[in-house]
Structure 1
Amino acid sequence: MRIAFFVNSIKGEAGYYTTTALALAGMARGHDVSYLTPGDFVLHPDDNLMIRATNLKNGKPKKADAFISALQGDQAEIQTINVSEIDVLFLRNDPSEDADERPWAAHAGAIFGRLAAERGVLTVNDPEGLIRAQNKLYFQDFPQAVRPTTLISKSFEEIRVFIDEQKQGVILKPLQGSGGKNVFKIASSKEANLNQIFEAVSGEGYLIAQVYLPDATAGDIRLFLMNGRPLQRDGAYAAFRRVPAKGEVRSNMNAAGTPAAVEITPKILAVAELVRPKLVEDGMFLVGLDIVGDKILEINVFTPGGLPDIAELYGVDLTPEVIIALEQKVEMRKNYAGRISNRRLATL
Structure 2
Amino acid sequence: MRIAFLVNSIAGEASYYTTTSLALAAIARGHDIFYVTPGDFVLRPDDSLHVRAVMPPIAKQKKADAFIAGLNDAGLPIETINVGELDVLFLRNDPSEDADDRPWAAHVGAMFGRLAVERGVITVNDPHGLARAQNKLYFQDFPEAIRPATLISRSIDEIRAFVADHKRGVILKPLQGSGGRHVFKVASNKESNLNQIFEAVSGEGYLIAQGYLPEAVEGDIRLFLMNGHPLERDGAYAAFRRVPAKGELRSNMNAAGTAAAVKITPEILRVADMVRPKLIADGMFLVGLDIVGDKILEINVFTPGGLPNMLELYGVDFSADVIGDLERKVAIRKNYGNRMANNVLATL
1:310 to partner: Cα distance: 1.4
Aligned to 1:342: 342
Q: Which whole-Å CA distance do the structure 1 matches of 2:254 and 2:281 have between them?
A: 31
Contact kept in structure 1, 2:171 and 2:185, CA below 8 Å: yes
3-state SS in 2 of match to 1:209 = strand
Q: Which whole-Å CA distance do the structure 1 matches of 2:165 and 2:46 have between them?
A: 59
1:61 to partner: Cα distance: 1.5
Q: Which whole-Å CA distance do the structure 2 matches of 1:280 and 1:264 have between them?
A: 21
Q: Which whole-Å CA distance do the structure 1 matches of 2:212 and 2:145 have between them?
A: 16
Aligned to 2:136: 136
1:56 to partner: Cα distance: 2.7
3-state SS in 2 of match to 1:200 = helix
Contact kept in structure 2, 1:228 and 1:276, CA below 8 Å: yes
1:76 to partner: Cα distance: 2.4
1:315 to partner: Cα distance: 1.2
Aligned to 2:127: 127
1:14 matched to 2:14? The reply is yes
Q: Which whole-Å CA distance do the structure 2 matches of 1:75 and 1:120 have between them?
A: 32
Q: Which whole-Å CA distance do the structure 2 matches of 1:6 and 1:60 have between them?
A: 23
Contact kept in structure 1, 2:27 and 2:58, CA below 8 Å: no
Q: Which whole-Å CA distance do the structure 2 matches of 1:90 and 1:77 have between them?
A: 21
Contact kept in structure 2, 1:57 and 1:75, CA below 8 Å: no
3-state SS in 1 of match to 2:97 = helix
1:338 to partner: Cα distance: 2.3
1:333 to partner: Cα distance: 0.6
Sort the Cα spacing of 1:176 and 1:281 in 2 relative to 1 into closer, same or farther, 3 A.
same
TM-score by length of 2: 0.99
Aligned to 1:188: 188
Letter of the structure 1 residue corresponding to residue 112 of structure 2: F
Q: Which moved more, 1:138-147 or 1:308-317?
A: 308-317
Aligned to 2:303: 303
Q: Which whole-Å CA distance do the structure 2 matches of 1:338 and 1:178 have between them?
A: 34
3-state SS in 1 of match to 2:338 = coil
3-state SS in 2 of match to 1:134 = coil
Aligned to 1:3: 3
Aligned to 2:248: 248
Aligned to 2:160: 160
Matching of residues 83-232 of structure 1 within 5 Å: 83-232=83-232
Q: Which whole-Å CA distance do the structure 1 matches of 2:93 and 2:124 have between them?
A: 12
Q: Which whole-Å CA distance do the structure 1 matches of 2:160 and 2:264 have between them?
A: 36
Residues paired across the two proteins, number: 348
Aligned to 1:323: 323
Contact kept in structure 1, 2:57 and 2:71, CA below 8 Å: no
Matching of residues 249-264 of structure 1 within 5 Å: 249-264=249-264
Q: Which moved more, 1:255-264 or 1:58-67?
A: 58-67
3-state SS in 2 of match to 1:33 = strand
Q: Which whole-Å CA distance do the structure 2 matches of 1:56 and 1:37 have between them?
A: 14
Contact kept in structure 2, 1:27 and 1:60, CA below 8 Å: no
The alignment yields a C-alpha RMSD, in angstroms, of: 0.8
1:291 to partner: Cα distance: 0.1
- Identity percentage over the alignment? 75
Q: Deviations over 1:104-163 (max 9, x none)?
A: 001101100110011000000000000000000000000000000000000000110000
Letter of the structure 2 residue corresponding to residue 190 of structure 1: K
Instruction: Provide structure 1 residue ranges, at least 5 long, that are not aligned to the other structure.
Output: none
3-state SS in 2 of match to 1:250 = coil
Q: Which whole-Å CA distance do the structure 1 matches of 2:232 and 2:300 have between them?
A: 18
Contact kept in structure 1, 2:57 and 2:70, CA below 8 Å: no
Letter of the structure 1 residue corresponding to residue 135 of structure 2: N
Aligned to 2:71: 71
1:74 to partner: Cα distance: 4.2
Q: Which whole-Å CA distance do the structure 2 matches of 1:172 and 1:71 have between them?
A: 37
Q: Which whole-Å CA distance do the structure 2 matches of 1:234 and 1:42 have between them?
A: 43
Q: Which whole-Å CA distance do the structure 1 matches of 2:173 and 2:338 have between them?
A: 43
1:291 matched to 2:291? The reply is yes
Letter of the structure 2 residue corresponding to residue 62 of structure 1: K
3-state SS in 1 of match to 2:16 = coil
3-state SS in 2 of match to 1:337 = helix
Q: Which whole-Å CA distance do the structure 1 matches of 2:58 and 2:28 have between them?
A: 15
Q: Deviations over 1:204-246 (max 9, x none)?
A: 0000000000000000000000000000100110000000111
Poorly superposed stretches of 4+, deviation over 6 Å: none
TM-score by length of 1: 0.99
Aligned to 2:313: 313
Letter of the structure 2 residue corresponding to residue 312 of structure 1: E
